[in-house]
């Protein structure tokens, strides 16, 4: 295969197991297979994969929305042409476990760590597979890529995923995808153009759409979340307390009560 022949097309073709695959099919099949072959304890739902052009003006807006230090796709990869975001939904049983637990459930804390590792594995394998075909890719770790003092991310996967059309933000400031918000996000930057995904034209959040629900506010154990917004410092102090509680697991500054407390946690379609 001549690399230059498909770099000039919008949807290049790969050969895999005797079948021609478009770039999107290759990316989505690779992520799907990595998740399906995961040796962890979680039976993940099918991932959602969405795309954006690297020159989308909303990426520059993140310097205002998130913080001035937020990176552009071109900062990760000077030749950036497109951005890929993927959401790995947790199974409903995992959501219920954390929702019913009086504290952050151990299962949820373990899932946070396991899924972060899985996201990194997806990015590593995708980048390696694409590199073999002459396509450059760059990515950021799934978490702890933020300023610990100001709590401002250098590469916010949820905002990147929003630009890629993965969903809309809820009152809890989580991204609500067509699969819900209970799960984890990853993203990559490619030097190859891929057609962008459409963005939702209305919010999934019941409060923002209809002025009702507030399940996430009621579920917040720290009081950091209100209808006025999120007190990030108060929230993070609680996350550090969770991390201290589950010291045997490794770094797990995770809570997920707002993500699992309401009807937006799990949405259809899931399988």
Distance of alpha carbon 75 from alpha carbon 226, whole angstroms: 34
Q: What is the token pair recorded at 125?
A: 């394998």
CB distance 160 to 87 below 8 Å: no
Query: pLDDT of 203-251, one tens digit each?
Result: 999 999 999 999 999 999 999 999 999 999 999 999 999 999 999 999 9
Q: How confident is the model at residue 270 (pLDDT cuts 50, 70, 90)?
A: low
DSSP β-bridge partners for residue 176? 168
Q: Which is nearest to 219 in space by CA: 90, 94, 104?
A: 104
| Residues found in the chain | 271
CA torsion sign for 157, 220, 266, 171 is: negative
Q: What are phi and psi of 206, to 5 degrees?
A: -65, -35
* pLDDT tens column, 1-51: 223 333 433 344 555 544 445 889 999 999 999 999 988 889 999 999 999
Predicted confidence at residue 39, as pLDDT, reads 81
pLDDT at residue 159, as a whole number? 98
Indicate whether this model's pTM tops 0.95.
no
| 86-136 residue pLDDT tens | 999 999 999 999 999 999 999 999 999 999 999 999 999 999 999 998 999
Q: With pLDDT > 90 as the criterion, what percentage of the chain qualifies?
A: 84
pLDDT of amino acid 271: 55
- HSE of 19, CA atoms in CB hemisphere, 13 A: 7
CA dist 20 and 209 (Å) reads 42
pLDDT of res. 269 = 64
Give pLDDT, residue 50.
Answer: 98
Q: Give 115: exposed, middle or buried? Use CB within 10 Å, 0-12, 13-18, 19+.
A: buried
DSSP string, the chain: --HHHHHTSSS-EEEETTEEEEHHHHHHHHHHHHHHT--SS--PPPPEEEEEETT-THHHHHHHHT-TTPPPHHHH-TT--EEEEEEEEPPHHHHHHHHHSSS--HHHHHHHHHHHHHHHHHHHHHHHHHHTTT--EEE--SS--EETTTTEESS-HHHHHHHTTS-EE-TTS-EEBTTBS-EEEEEEEESS--PPPPPPSS---HHHHHS---HHHHH-SSS-EETTEE-HHHHHHHHHHHHHHTGGGSS-----HHHHSSTTSS-SS--
Return the higher-pLDDT residue of 252 and 19: 252
pLDDT score of 21: 59
- Could you tell me the domains of the chain? 3-197 (3.40.109)
pLDDT higher at 101 or 270: 101
- pLDDT at 145 (0 to 100): 87
């Amino acid at each position: 295969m001549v690399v230059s022949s498909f770099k000039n097309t919008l949807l290049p073709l790969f050969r895999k197991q005797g079948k021609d695959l478009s770039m999107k099919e290759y990316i989505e099949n690779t992520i799907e297979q990595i998740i399906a072959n995961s040796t962890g304890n979680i039976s993940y739902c099918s991932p959602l994969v969405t795309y954006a052009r690297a020159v989308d003006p909303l990426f520059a807006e993140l310097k205002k929305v998130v913080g001035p230090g937020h990176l552009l796709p071109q900062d990760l990869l000077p030749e950036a042409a497109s951005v890929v975001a993927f959401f790995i939904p947790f199974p409903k049983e995992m959501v219920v476990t954390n929702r019913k637990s009086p504290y952050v459930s151990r299962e949820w804390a373990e899932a946070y760590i396991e899924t972060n590792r899985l996201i990194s594995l997806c990015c590593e394998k995708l980048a390696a597979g694409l590199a073999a075909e002459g396509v450059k890719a760059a990515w950021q770790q799934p978490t702890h890529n933020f300023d610990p003092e100001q709590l401002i991310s250098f590469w916010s996967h949820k905002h990147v995923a929003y630009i890629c059309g993965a969903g809309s933000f809820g009152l809890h400031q989580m991204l609500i995808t067509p699969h819900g918000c209970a799960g984890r996000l990853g993203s990559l930057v490619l030097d190859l153009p891929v057609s962008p995904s459409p963005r939702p034209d209305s919010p999934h959040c019941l409060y923002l759409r209809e002025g009702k629900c507030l399940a996430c506010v009621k579920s917040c154990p720290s009081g950091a979340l209100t209808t006025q917004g999120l007190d990030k410092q108060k929230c993070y102090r609680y996350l550090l307390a969770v991390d201290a509680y589950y010291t045997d697991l490794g770094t797990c500054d995770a809570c997920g009560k707002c993500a699992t407390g309401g009807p937006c946690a799990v949405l259809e379609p899931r399988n």
